[in-house]
Chain A
């Protein structure tokens, strides 16, 4: 009796969970709401999912509703790959993957061309994947770590009064000892050669709570600037150690993953004066899109995370990442048929021909949040504008003008590294004619 009841219930559940939604665009969501990086990862995830909810509340992408499913991987590469395999064929096939982990990005870069699913890595991933002729399926939109490092050097040079003043200066890079943290080294070494500053490399092991030795070295060597390439708990630990060693926070510059509320909140006053890059946006509680989300999603009780975190730095990062994916679909629909569900291949075309001008951004509610993005076959990044914001003890404030990464430095490095990759993987780069297809 009991067994038959269970069987009936199971059968009913099976029929209920079967995809009834025939024409929905499926967005898989790889998240880490647990583990050492959860405080940062969950805000990004909330922003990402909230934006998808907002698009649905506004009627979908030209009428096509979005389906989404989360998969938790705890920032572990092998579980991330498992999540990818689990989600890629669900609900009629995944539209785009955004893993928010450089390690997972590296693993998926090989799989994406086979499965024909584009990979957006807004503000992370492989720096050389900017070259879309080789990395057909990777989209490091808005910026790579080479852009970040380049802008930091530019900013420091400006503070010193010119690139020639950097000679003999000492810059320390405190980095997460993983592909993520190592990415900027190549560019910083190049810049160090150009301007004659000395680069100190100080790796910090995962998860980054043990930094005593690192900061002892900083106390001894007294570098002029410290660049912080941390993630999660490593950032707040670094700030606490800086406070303990007495290293001036004003001379510390974090990458855009080391410049959000969870990194500085615990340190509070101690982090005052600490600077970090802003991937175009900062904390944007007054943006129109945020107000839309509050009225259309949160007021209806459908918010994913706590209401007070809406508009935080990493929340906005997730929001923008989702928006870029959705706009890729919208662009693809313009060519392949409005109101239809796009395949991964079609979305890839959409992302490669993305053209978000100021008018479109304003209409989406992103006025003042970010600058126009325009991608092409050779440039899968679309924009390399960055500014810097500073923690004033209670909130992040913009303290610099817009910077743009120096193409003359980055382009040759991108071409060289992507050519090496193409040779290793026996990929023939696409010709300009093939790009037009």
Chain B
């Protein structure tokens, strides 16, 4: 009744092609952004920022990157963690080796380096596809894991192989408090999500999708597979690189290669699969599901136990967390194989007809 577009007429192409054609959506998104930018900093406490919101924002950005490659271009990758690592270590090296390098520029340069590396490791995609490509990208993961552990130049000869960033300085603005860190991540995420949405709606995104749906047919109608695939690798790796640099700089502060291990690659791939392949919105759902749910379960279960007067041991909570988390993944994949984003759009469809479904 409330959510329907009756009476909203589009009189120009621009109005017809905008990202959110329905006015209610625009209002809702605007309200959400204002809430995230103004409301959240007002009431959230430090724990919420540092332990939940900042990791969620950064991994959303990473999931967005993986989704561009896997969801839109159909190139399965298991090297996402490696590209994050490349971004983080490249940004670190720019920061310490170039005098007076502003933090944000270093982060973006980290993304650029990751993009270049992504192009190189995307070359096998021109020959192999599907699961075989996944195995090929696994090589990226292992290679960079090895490189950052063994080549000591990357870690500035630190004796333990762990690197850390002193302070986050952005043209005189010192980013110290959790709120500032949150706003930085939020700003970058909004910017990059907007770019990603527009990329996927534009010519290049259509090329990616054509390649994904059937690459031979795409080639026949004049899409160059090399250009389309490598550009997808480049853009995706850029996103991952920026996310990796933020993960190191803003979230962890000091890190070792284990922060970007193969587990991280799997985690990102699962985010995209659970959230919804080929959906910008899905990246956010997936990140929220994977980042927030385990922490929520970890705190909710003891509380629930306390409610019925049972003290659950820490180990039992942790085991239960794994079991429930796994069961939920299976549940969602059975109920909606296309991911949480599809559930969302089904919900929207239903809402449009409500309360008079036919």
Contact = CB atoms under 8 A, between A and B. Distances in A.
A419 B319 CA distance: 43
Interface string A168-185: 000000000111001101
A182 B159 contact: yes
A340 B259 CA distance: 40
B256 A179 contact: yes
Given A17-B306, A71-B314, A72-B315, A107 B167 contact: no
B149 interface: yes
Contact of B315 (A34, A81, A126): A34
Contacts of B251: 78
A426 B166 contact: yes
Interface stretch (B44-52, B61-69, B83-91, B226-234): B44-52
Interface stretch (A82-90, A214-222, A362-370, A402-410): A82-90
Nearest to B178: A85
A70 interface: yes
B18 interface: no
A424 B95 CA distance: 11
Interface in A1-43: 9-10, 13, 16-17, 31, 33-34, 38, 42
A106 B162 contact: yes
Interface centre among A13, A89, A417 (most CB of B within 10 A): A13
Contacts, number: 97
A183 B158 CA distance: 10
Interface centre among B47, B51, B253, B318 (most CB of A within 10 A): B318
Contacts of B314: 31, 33, 70-72
A85 B253 contact: no
Interface string B253-275: 11110110100000000000000
A107 B166 contact: no
Q: Please classify how large the interface on chain A is, using the bins under 10, 10 to 19, 20 to 34, 35 or more.
A: 35 or more
A179 B161 contact: yes
A82 B52 CA distance: 8
B149 A179 contact: no
B346 interface: no
Interface string A106-139: 1101110000000000000010000000000000
Contact of B254 (A10, A107, A186, A206): A107
B252 interface: yes
A92 to B, nearest CB: 15
B36 interface: no
A425 interface: yes
B303 interface: yes
A72 B298 contact: yes
A106 B318 contact: no
Given A34-B315, A106-B160, A182-B160, A13 B166 contact: no
B74 interface: no
Given A81-B252, A86-B51, A110-B254, A16 B160 contact: no
Contacts of A77: 252, 255-256, 258-259
Interface in B249-304: 251-256, 258-259, 261, 295, 298-299, 303
Contacts of A417: 159
A223 interface: no
A72 B318 CA distance: 7
Contact of A203 (B149, B258, B317): B149
Nearest to B315: A33
A313 B255 CA distance: 30
B307 A13 contact: yes
A275 interface: no
A144 to B, nearest CB: 12
Interface centre among A33, A102, A183, A426 (most CB of B within 10 A): A33
Interface centre among A10, A31, A81 (most CB of B within 10 A): A81
Contacts of A10: 307
Given A13-B303, A106-B162, A86 B252 contact: no
B164 interface: yes
Contacts of A426: 166-167
Nearest to B252: A107
B175 to A, nearest CB: 13
B315 A103 contact: no
Kindly list the 5 A-B residue pairs having the minimum CB-CB distance in the complex, ordered from nearest.
A33-B315, A179-B160, A85-B51, A70-B314, A186-B159
Interface of A: 9-10, 13, 16-17, 31, 33-34, 38, 42, 70-72, 74, 77-78, 81-82, 85-86, 89, 102-103, 106-107, 109-111, 126, 177-179, 182-183, 185-186, 203, 206, 417, 424-426
Given A82-B51, A206-B258, 13 more contacts: A16-B306, A17-B303, A33-B315, A42-B315, A72-B318, A78-B252, A85-B46, A89-B47, A103-B258, A109-B254, A179-B256, A182-B161, A203-B149
